[in-house]
Amino acid sequence: MIKPRDIFKKLAYTNLTKIEKFYLIPYKNAFDTMKQGLCALFATGINFWKVPIEYNKRFVEDLLVLIEWDMIVERFFGNQLLRDQINFVSDVLFDIVEANKLGEKYLIKRDPNAMEVSVPRLIAFKTIQRMRFHKDEEERIRQK
């Protein structure tokens, strides 16, 4: 079930990363289109309240697009942990592309070596690096 509060929470994200822009900008556009459709219906007057929703084809189409984008965005940005994870994986994939320009070609083609070996290993390595960084920070704080 889609909750309006969750929609507004996701629409309020600021300082979007590249991967967040890829998903959240079309989501915001779908919301704005639906909102404009509602405003157009409201401008028609009292008939807005009398017409059953299924007869308003434009609003139903706009709402279906919004629901479709909400399901996609909820999967990746539903909570702070999911948002951190998608940004982390995006950073790792960006590192692969930056290290070797052919890496992008192999990722796009979904090369088995890249998808089943390189990417999981690099994600595991970067995870351990991040854990080590936080452990070292914790150790420095204790020493102070």
In DSSP notation, 78-117 reads: SSHHHHHHHHHHHHHHHHHHHH-HHHHHHHHTT-HHIIII
Domain limits for position 37: 1-78
Domain endpoint, select from 78, 110, 131: 78
Q: Does residue 40 sit in the same domain as residue 55?
A: yes
pTM for the whole structure: 0.67
Domain endpoint, select from 44, 62, 78: 78
Q: Is the Cβ–Cβ distance between 126 and 94 less than 8 Å?
A: no
Domain endpoint, select from 63, 78, 93: 78
9 Cα distance to chain centroid: 12
Q: Does residue 122 sit in the same domain as residue 67?
A: no
Say what the pLDDT of residue 112 is. 74
> Which residues, other chains included, contact 59 with Cβ-Cβ below 8 Å and sequence gap of 6+?
34, 37, 38, 41, 53
Q: Is the Cβ–Cβ distance between 77 and 9 less than 8 Å?
A: no
Say what the pLDDT of residue 103 is. 73
Q: Specify the higher pLDDT residue, 20 or 39.
A: 20
Q: Does residue 55 sit in the same domain as residue 93?
A: no
